[in-house]
Structure 1
Amino acid sequence: MATPDFIRDLRNSIGRQLLWLPGVSAVVFDDQGRVLLGKRVDTGGWSVIGGIPEPGEQPAETAVREVYEETAVRVVPEGIVLVETMPPTRYPNGDVCQFMDVTLRCRAVGGTARVNDDESLEVGWFAVDALPELEEYALTRIKRALEAGPTWFQGMGAEPAGGHPEA
């Protein structure tokens, strides 16, 4: 994901030390039950769509904006899938960030999936039984979004040993 200007400004003040940030992930389904994925420029891997909220932006607004910016698909958020604080990540430039991710299930309502910015190499719709290789992060979010259960909150007794929720 591209680094927002407000984060660049913060980095000028705090250097490379840990920066705790909100993040929003969107698991988008179409009317055929397929999931929308983007192949990321930064990692080269497929993932769900996501990004950092702008200051004052609500998570649902972030999901709608990020999905459109990255894929040209219009969505309506339908519910919260999970809320999870991720482990800190050190980036190649030395910056350290820790994200609290709010994942939303979204329904596509318009647009045609295509690369719409410089953050994706490819975008596309995938049947849930024919997904490309995904990191556990994305798989967990897709599996949770397919469940009809309540929102999953990290640390609330529903995770097995090892720290990852069972799907």
Structure 2
Amino acid sequence: MTTPEFIRAIRATAGHQLLLLPGVSAIVFDDQGRVLLGRRRDTGRWAAIGGIAEPGEQPADTVVREVYEETAVHCLPERVVLVRMLPPVTYANGDICQYQDIAFRCRATGGRARVNDNESLEVAWFARDALPPLAPGDLDLIDRACRDEPTWFEAATVVVDRPGGSLSGP
């Protein structure tokens, strides 16, 4: 993943400490019901398309931009599939990041799938019954995107007992 310039500027003063970053994932379907995936250059694994929001950028705009930047496919976000905090990641250089992921179900509206940046090795459409090996989280995203259900999120673990009252947790 290419590090955005605004994060490089923060790292110049913050060092390697944990940064909480807003991110998006896209589960993009074509008219045949196939899923768009990219094989990441950094891991060599197939994955959902995604990336980091720029300052001031709306999440739906981020997902449209990231899908196009990585795959040359135009898409329309249809709904939010889930919102989640991913576990912290420590990169080889010592930087620590934790991503808040907003995953969107998207419909392809144009373009031709191809590698469109330096972050991907391959880009391809896959039938749901012929997916390449994927991380469990990506399989879950695809499964949830195919369901007609409300947005998923982890249940709250902190409860406010009453207005002006105290917080409690598990």
| Smaller-chain TM-score bracket | over 0.9
Q: 146-155 or 56-65: which moved more? A: 146-155
Identical aligned pairs, as a percentage? 64
Match of 1:161 in 2: none
Match of 2:100 in 1: 100
Q: What is the rounded CA distance, in whole Å, between the counterparts of 1:117 and 1:133 in structure 2?
A: 22
Match of 1:18 in 2: 18
Q: What is the rounded CA distance, in whole Å, between the counterparts of 2:155 and 2:15 in structure 1?
A: 30
Q: What is the rounded CA distance, in whole Å, between the counterparts of 2:95 and 2:40 in structure 1?
A: 19
| Residue correspondences, number | 157
Q: For residues 69-148 of structure 1, what are the structure 2 equivalents within 5 Å?
A: 69-148=69-148
Q: Which amino acid is 1:84 matched to?
A: R
1:34 is aligned to 2:34: yes
> How far off is 1:123 after superposition?
0.1
Q: What is the rounded CA distance, in whole Å, between the counterparts of 1:80 and 1:142 in structure 2?
A: 12
Structure 2 unaligned blocks of 5 or more? 158-170
Q: What is the rounded CA distance, in whole Å, between the counterparts of 1:155 and 1:17 in structure 2?
A: 28
Q: What is the rounded CA distance, in whole Å, between the counterparts of 2:156 and 2:107 in structure 1?
A: 27
Q: Which amino acid is 1:22 matched to?
A: P
Q: Which amino acid is 1:35 matched to?
A: V
Match of 1:8 in 2: 8
Match of 1:155 in 2: 155
Q: What is the rounded CA distance, in whole Å, between the counterparts of 1:66 and 1:74 in structure 2?
A: 10
TM-score (norm 2): 0.90
Deviations 1:71-91 (A, max 9, x none): 000000000000000111111
TM-score (norm 1): 0.92
> How far off is 1:99 after superposition?
0.6
Q: What is the rounded CA distance, in whole Å, between the counterparts of 1:142 and 1:55 in structure 2?
A: 27
Structure 1 unaligned blocks of 5 or more? 158-167
Q: Which amino acid is 2:29 matched to?
A: F
> How far off is 1:30 after superposition?
0.3
> How far off is 1:154 after superposition?
1.7
